[in-house]
Structure 1
Amino acid sequence: MKIGILGTRGIPNHYGGFEQFAEFFATYAVTKGHDVFVYNSSAHPYKQNTFNGVNIIHCYDPENRIGTAGQFIYDLNCIRDARKRNFDIILQLGYTSSSVWFSLHPKKAIVITNMDGLEWKRTKYSNKVRKALQVAERIAVKKSDYLIADSLGIQKYIQEKYNKKSIYIAYGSNCFNQPDSDVLKPYQVEKEKYNMIMARFEPENNIDMVLEGVTLSEDKQPILVIGNYKTKYGSYLKDKFSKFKNIIFLGAIYNLNHLDNLRFFSNLYFHGHTVGGTNPSLLEAMGSKALIAAHNNDFNKGVLNENAYYFSSAEEVKKILQTIKKSDNLQFVENNYEAIAKSFNWEKINEQYLQLFEQCLERNSTRK
C-alpha cells in the first residue's frame, strides 16, 4: 500500500501523542513492505527526506510566525501535496485545523480519520472557537470514509451524536523492563521518594489541582512537573507555585529512556487529563510500572479500571499523597503493566491499523 500520514507536526516525535504514534506506525508499516509518507512541518528540527525508511515530506508551516492560523495553512499545504501522490490510504490524525480542507482530499484515496478527543471541550478555547471546533468535528465525521476512535468513550460519543460507526483501535505503548537508577542522578531524586506529573500546560489537564493538593499535604516529597511551561498558562502556574521548593518544574523531556525511568522509580504518578481518548502518557506510565493517581472521569477509568487511585479535588490529592505508597500497591502496578502487554502494545495496535487499511481497500477496490 501507498500510505500518507497527515495531521502531525512530523517525525521523529518532538511534540506529542499523534507524532509518537506516527513515528511508531510509519516505521512499522515500512518493515511490512508498505510505502509510507509522513508530512512534517517546516518548523520541525529534522530536515532529512527519509527517516528509518519512511518518506518525509516537508511542508511550509507559518504557525511560529502568525500563530494558530498557521496550522490551517500547514494542513492546506499538506493536503494539496497529497493530491499529487496517488495514495491508496490517507490517514488523517485529528481534524481541528484540517476539516475546512477535507473536500480537497484526493478523491481516489481512502481517507481514514482518527478523531482524537473532544477538542471542543478544551477550556483554553473561547466559546466562539469551541463552536467552530464542533463544526470541524461534524465535517470530519461526514467527509471521512472511515473513522477511528482510540477510546470506547469516543466511539460511543460518535455513535450517539452522529449515528455513525467508528472502528475502535486504542493508542499503544511499550513495556519498559530495563530500569537504570543512574538516570535519576541529574534530577536529584531517590527511588520512590518523589512524585511526578507529566502533561501539556492546559487547564483541563488539572496540573493546578494536583499542585494545590501538594501544597495542602504534609507530605513534602518533591514532585517533578514535566511539560513545556513556556506558555501563558505555564508561566502562571510556575509563578503561582514558585515558593514551594518541593514543586520542581523540569520543562519538556523527550528522552524516552529518561521518562520511563522517572516513571518507574516514582512513588506516585499523577494523571490529570479530562479531555480526549486513550491518552498516550497514561499508557506509557502503565507500561513503565508507575503507580497511578488519575482524575476521576470515564476516559481514565475506561483504561485503568480499578487499578489506580482517583481524585476530583485538591483535597483528594492531599489525601492520596499522605496515605498511599507504591510499595503497598504493587498489584495495581502489575495489573496495568499486564494490560499494556496484552491489549495496548504497539505491535498489536500497528497490526490492527494495517488490517483495517487492507479491509478498506478491499471494500473500495473500484475506487482506483
Structure 2
Amino acid sequence: MAVIGTRGYPSFYGGFETAVRKLAPYLADQSWNVTVYGRSADLEQHSDKDPRVQVITTAGVENKSLSTLSYGLTACLHAFWTKPDVALVMNVANGFWLPLLRLRRIPTIVNVDGIEWERAKWGRLAKTIFKIGAFMTARFGTVLIADSKEIGRRWRDEFGRDCVFVPYGGEAGSDHSLEDGLSPERYVLVVARFVPENTLPEFISAARNLARDYQVVIVGSSGYGGHLEDDVRLLAEENENVRWLGHVSDDQRLLALWRHCGAYFHGHSVGGTNPALVQAMANGAPVVARDTVYNREVLGNDAAFCLPEGDEIERAVRRVMDTPSERKRLSNISLERVQQGYTWEAVCAAYERELRSQAEEKSLSEVTK
C-alpha cells in the first residue's frame, strides 16, 4: 500500500505526518508492504524510523501555493506506474489526481482533513482550488475518512458523500525533563501553526497581560515567516516571562510541555479534530479551548471554552491558573475523553480495517473478472 500527500516518513511537520509516523509501522506489523511518498527536503533523520517502511521522494515546486499539488501529482504518477494494492491519500487538494489512480484500478482511502476553503490563511485562488479538489475527491475517492463527525456532516450535506469517522490519537509522554526555567503548573502553553484561524493574534493580546503573573510558552511557527512570527518575536523580546520555542520536532519534549502546563490554550477553529489537542489531552493538560463545534466534539461540553477575544482568553486562562481544583477537573476531563476512541491503537486499527477491506475487494474483483 502507498501513502500519498504528506511530507514523508518520518516527518514532524503536522497532523498528517504525525498520523503516518504512527500508522506506517503499525501497518508493517500487520504484514503490509508500506510505501510513503515524501519530499526530500522535509524528511528528518530520526532514530525511531522503521526500516520496513519504504520512502520514495518525488519532485515538486516548493512554495506555499503549489507544493501540495505538485508533489501530489508526481507521487500519483509514480503510484500509477507501480500500482499498489491500495492508496491512502491525504488532503483534498490531491483530489485532482484521483482519476489517475482510478484509471489504474487503485482503490483510494482519502482523509479529507478540514474545511480548507474556509481557512483565512488561503487567498481566493487557493480556496477555489481546495473546493474543486473536494468535488473531485467526492467524485473519485473510493472511501472518505473524516477526523471529526462534524466534518463528516459537512461532506454529507455539501457533497452527498458519507465519511468514515477516524480521529487522531494521543499518547502519554515519558518522564522527559521540563524546559530549564519553567515551573510545573505555573506556565500557560499554546501550540499552533501561526495562522489567523488558530486565534494567534487574540492570544498574543491576552499573553501581554498574562505574562505579568505567569510564564507564557509559545510553540510553533508559520513556516514562511510573516507578521505573526514578527509579533511573537517582539512579545518574547519585550517580556522575559514569554518564551517562544519555534517549531518543536522532539515528541517527548513537546509532550512534557503539555504534561506540566498550568493551562493549555487551544485556539484552532476550522480543522476538525486537531492532533495537538488530542496530544494535550493524552498528557492531562488542563485545556481552555476556543468555543467551536469541533472542539466541543472532542472535549465534551463540560470542558472550558471561551470566545476568540483577547480579554475573554485572558479571563478563562486566569480562572484555570488561579484555581487548583479547576486545573484538576479539566485535566481529568482530558484523560477520560482520550480513552473514548482517541488513542493511536484505535485510530491505526480503524485505518487498517478500511485499507484491508478495499485491498480484499480489489483482489476479489480481479479474480472474478
Change (3 A) 1:360 1:229: closer
1:195 aligns with 188
2:250 aligns with 255
| Root-mean-square deviation over aligned CA pairs | 2.1
- Aligned partner of 2:311: which letter? E
2:71 equivalent to 1:87: no
Identity of aligned residues (%): 23
Moved more, 14-23 or 237-246: 237-246
- Aligned partner of 1:89: which letter? V
2:199 equivalent to 1:209: no
Deviation at 1:172, TM superposition (A): 1.2
2:2 aligns with 4
Distance 1:229 1:101 in 2: 27
Distance 2:211 2:34 in 1: 53
Deviations for 1:138-174, whole angstroms, at most 9, x for unmatched residues? Answer: 1111110110011001010011111211111111111
Distance 2:58 2:149 in 1: 33
Aligned residue runs from structure 1 range 279-318, under 5 A: 279-312=274-307, 313-318=309-314
2:97 aligns with 101
2:51 equivalent to 1:57: no
2:120 aligns with 123
2:318 equivalent to 1:322: yes
Distance 1:304 1:47 in 2: 34
2:215 aligns with 222
2:20 equivalent to 1:27: no
Q: Which secondary structure does the structure 2 equivalent of 1:5 belong to?
A: strand
Distance 1:218 1:248 in 2: 10
Aligned residue runs from structure 1 range 98-247, under 5 A: 98-106=94-102, 107-176=104-173, 178-180=174-176, 182-185=177-180, 188-217=181-210, 219-228=212-221, 231-238=225-232, 241=235, 242-247=237-242
Whether the aligned pair in 2 keeps the contact of 1:175 and 1:340 (CA below 8 Å) is: no
Q: Which runs of 4+ in 1 moved over 4 A?
A: none
Deviation at 1:24, TM superposition (A): 0.7
Distance 1:47 1:78 in 2: 21
Change (3 A) 1:334 1:113: same
Unmatched runs of 5 consecutive residues or more in structure 1 = none
- Aligned partner of 1:324: which letter? V
Distance 2:222 2:67 in 1: 21
Whether the aligned pair in 2 keeps the contact of 1:219 and 1:322 (CA below 8 Å) is: no
Alignment coverage as a number of residue pairs: 358
Moved more, 232-241 or 310-319: 232-241
Q: Which secondary structure does the structure 2 equivalent of 1:123 belong to?
A: coil
Distance 2:287 2:44 in 1: 34
Deviation at 1:218, TM superposition (A): 7.8
- Aligned partner of 2:57: which letter? H
2:69 equivalent to 1:75: no
Unmatched runs of 5 consecutive residues or more in structure 2 = none
Distance 2:365 2:83 in 1: 15
Change (3 A) 1:111 1:212: same
Whether the aligned pair in 2 keeps the contact of 1:179 and 1:264 (CA below 8 Å) is: no
